[in-house]
Amino acid sequence: MVESYPNDVAYSVLTRLDDVADIIRVAAVSRSWRNFVINNGISKKLCLKKAPTLSIIDNVVDRDEVCYTLNGVDGRNPERDHTMYSYLLRAMSMDSPTNCIDCIIGASSTNIYPMQSLVNVMVARDKYIWGVSYWSSKGQRDPNILDYTQFRLQSKVCVVNEIQIRHSEAFWEPGTPVYSAKSVRFQMGHPKYIADFNVDYKNLSLQQLADHFVWTYTSPEFPMTQESCLQSFKLPEPTICIGGFFKIEFLGITQKKELDDLFYLCMGEIRILGRPLGPAFDIQICQTGDFSLIYWPENVRSILENPIKSSLDFT
């Protein structure tokens, strides 16, 4: 029985568990153990340790409680929170090889629009009838310039664990150069205000875009190889993107174009691999400014138990 152990000892042991299955097993031992796990928020603490992006969540509510929570009523429920954070932990541990990109938001620059626009990275093809398919930045004299691409994911709540990127090879130029980046890092976040979820970002300037988002996660920097192949970058831990917006930063450019002696960055394909958690989970900003994680109980189990169709092959 849990009463046989000092509370601080039991708490210290349980917060060292690193697998949601272990927490579920402990909670199944007896009613007293279950109450201890629930009342001390053990599953929530493990979830926050694995996905610090969840720290912005103030409340977990089901759809029937949304109206109360948005009006400032405290809807906290330890047992419900335990169940939902356990679901999120399970979602992070599942294999999820699907491309989560919903649409492009923009890029730091585009050399020739629309022929070399960012939309080209959404389809895994080197060529079309009218030419080569890739995104190209504008030429720069400074090779240390930071370029970026930005996307909206398929759900406001997504598990992301891997990003795949392929540089474009200029096979029509002497020496078939690869206009590659030296390294890459990733950011996830949300708009500053709830109304900004419905903004048409394509009509905003780069400065306006920068002012619209809060980035709650920044990955380590990953080195890139200077070749035209699909490179995979796995995050240290599967991470939950709260808000559904994803930014890829390319640090440093390696290749000059002989024609104008400027540095360019060219990408042929980008995939953000993970697991969209909609329609089971959504987020809402309350009148108080708090973030609520909303879930639909009837959809949660189907999201976790039914395999999702992979979109790795664009055929």
- 31: domain CATH number is 1.20.1280
CA angle (119 as vertex; 253, 111 as ends), nearest 5 = 45
Range of the domain at 46: 2-93+280-305
Name the DSSP class of 260.
T
Q: Give domain status of residue 172, yes or no.
A: yes
Co-location of 111 and 216 in the same domain: yes
Co-location of 135 and 169 in the same domain: yes
Q: Give domain status of residue 76, yes or no.
A: yes
pLDDT one digit per residue (tens) for the chain, 315 residues: 555 555 677 777 777 777 777 887 888 778 888 888 888 888 889 999 889 999 998 888 877 665 444 555 555 688 888 888 888 988 888 876 799 999 999 899 999 888 888 999 987 665 555 557 899 999 999 999 899 999 999 999 999 999 999 998 887 787 788 999 999 999 999 887 766 666 666 666 666 676 788 899 999 999 999 998 999 999 999 999 999 999 999 999 998 888 898 999 999 999 999 999 988 999 887 767 778 888 888 888 777 776 554 444 433
Co-location of 175 and 295 in the same domain: no
Q: Give domain status of residue 240, yes or no.
A: yes
Are the beta carbons of 78 and 38 closer than 8 angstroms? yes
pLDDT given for residue 202 in this prediction: 63
Co-location of 66 and 112 in the same domain: no
pLDDT given for residue 16 in this prediction: 77
Q: Which of 264, 266, 259 is nearest to 140 (CA)?
A: 264
| Sequence-separated (6 or more) residues with CB below 8 Å from residue 183 | 221, 222, 223, 224, 250, 251, 252
Are the beta carbons of 244 and 190 closer than 8 angstroms? yes
Co-location of 42 and 119 in the same domain: no
pLDDT given for residue 149 in this prediction: 95
CA 155 to chain CA centroid, Å, is: 10
| Sequence-separated (6 or more) residues with CB below 8 Å from residue 283 | 57, 156, 157, 190, 242, 243, 291, 292, 293, 294
Q: Give domain status of residue 311, yes or no.
A: no
pLDDT given for residue 314 in this prediction: 35
pLDDT given for residue 96 in this prediction: 64
Q: What is the CATH number of the domain that holds 237?
A: 2.60.120.260
pLDDT given for residue 77 in this prediction: 82
pLDDT given for residue 311 in this prediction: 44
Co-location of 166 and 268 in the same domain: yes
pLDDT given for residue 303 in this prediction: 79
- Residue 188's alpha-carbon distances to 107, 286, 300, in angstroms, are 15, 21, 23
Q: Give domain status of residue 312, yes or no.
A: no
Co-location of 121 and 261 in the same domain: yes
Q: How far apart are CA 191 and CA 48, in angstroms?
A: 21
Are the beta carbons of 115 and 131 closer than 8 angstroms? yes
**Amino acid letter for position 155:** S
**Count: domains in the chain:** 2
Co-location of 72 and 140 in the same domain: no
Residue carrying the six token digits 């009838």:
129
Can the peptide bond before residue 279 be classed as cis, meaning omega within 30 degrees of 0? yes
pLDDT given for residue 201 in this prediction: 66
Are the beta carbons of 224 and 183 closer than 8 angstroms? yes
